[in-house]
Amino acid sequence: MPHPVMFDESDPLLARVRGLALPFPGAAEKISHGRPFFYTKTAFAVYGGSVKATGAQFPRSLLVKPDTAEHDALLGQRHTFTPAYLGPSGWIGFDLDRADVDWDEVAELLDMSFRVTAPARLVRELDGRVG
């Protein structure tokens, strides 16, 4: 049985996340478990999530896998949460459904997650673009 779609295709926040995530080398999008997943060989970002401990829904959020050295500091921010299913693997959720979203920070989080999850050749390609 397929998962129900858990996002609105016309969501402007999703459009903004797509604009930041899809330019990464080799990046693509697929719908998995009812949500947009951005991936190369494996996922580096997911749009939408829920809190593991309470089941609270954050349909307009971004899940990323940060560098382990940054994990605890990022999780300490007021707009972050440990997502269900992916949280035990080091992923963090960021609530985007708020007025004070720092889109430069979102871009940095996507970059970090891409670097943690992407194949080395794609990271080198990214470095070649910005270097």
Which residue segments constitute the domains of the chain, with CATH numbers given?
12-123 (3.90.1150.30)
Question: Do 39 and 26 contact (CB within 8 A), yes or no?
Answer: no
Find the farthest-apart pair of alpha carbons in the chain and give their distance in angstroms, rounded. Answer: 46
Question: Do 20 and 118 contact (CB within 8 A), yes or no?
Answer: no
**No. of helices (H) and no. of strands (E), the chain:** 4, 6
Structure letter (DSSP) for residue 99 = T
Task: Give the pLDDT confidence of 90-111 residue by residue, as tens digits.
Answer: 999 999 999 999 999 999 999 9
Q: State the pTM of this model.
A: 0.94
What span, in angstroms and rounded, lies between the C-alpha atoms of 81 and 58? 9
Task: Give the pLDDT confidence of 108-120 residue by residue, as tens digits.
Answer: 999 999 999 999 9
